Amino acid sequence: MDKRVLLPTDYSKNALNAIRYALDLYKNVQCDFYILNAFQASGYTLDSMMVPEPGERLYDLAKEASEAGMERLMGMIKLHPENPKHRFHYISTFNSLVEAIKNEIAKKDIDVIVMGTKGLTESKARIFGTNTVSVMESIKQCPVIAVPSDYMYVPPKEIAFPTDYKTDFKKSEMAQLVEIAKLHGSKINVVHIDKDKDGKLSKQEETHKRLLQDIMEGLDYELHFLSAVKVSKGINLFIESTNCNMFAFMNRKHLFFGSILSNPLVKEIGYDPKIPILELNDN
**Could you give the dihedral angle defined by the CA atoms of residues 12, 13, 16 and 20, in that order, rounded to the nearest 10 degrees?**
-160
Query: Does residue 196 or residue 211 have the better pLDDT?
Result: 211
User: pLDDT, tens digit, for every residue of 148-173?
Assistant: 888 999 999 999 998 888 888 999 99
Q: Is the dihedral of CA 113, 119, 120, 121 positive or negative?
A: positive
State residue 196 phi and psi, 5-degree precision.
Answer: -85, -10
CA atoms within 13 A on the CB side of 91: 23
DSSP secondary structure of 57-69:
HHHHHHHHHHHHH
Please name the CATH architecture into which domain 158-281 falls.
3-Layer(aba) Sandwich (3.40)
CATH number attached to the domain at 3-147:
3.40.50.620
Instruction: Tell me, yes or no, if the two domains 3-147 and 158-281 fold the same way.
Output: yes
Q: Is the pLDDT reported for residue 139 higher than 90?
A: no
Could you tell me the residue ranges of all domains in the chain? 3-147, 158-281
Confidence of residue 269 (pLDDT cuts 50, 70, 90): low
Q: Round the average pLDDT of the chain to a whole number and report it.
A: 84
Sort residue 200 into left (φ over 0), alpha (ψ -120 to 50) or beta.
beta
User: pLDDT, tens digit, for every residue of 103-127?
Assistant: 999 999 999 999 998 755 554 444 4
Lowest mean pLDDT among 4-8, 95-99, 116-120: 116-120
In this structure, which amino acid lies at residue 224?
A: H
Give me the pLDDT at residue 80, please. Answer: 82
pTM of the predicted structure, to 2 decimals: 0.88
Number of Cβ within a 10 Å radius of residue 67: 13
Q: Is the pLDDT reported for residue 71 higher than 70?
A: yes
Give me the percent of the chain exceeding a pLDDT of 70: 81
Q: Are strands 220-227 and 187-194 parallel, antiparallel or unpaired?
A: parallel
Average pLDDT over residues 185-203: 83
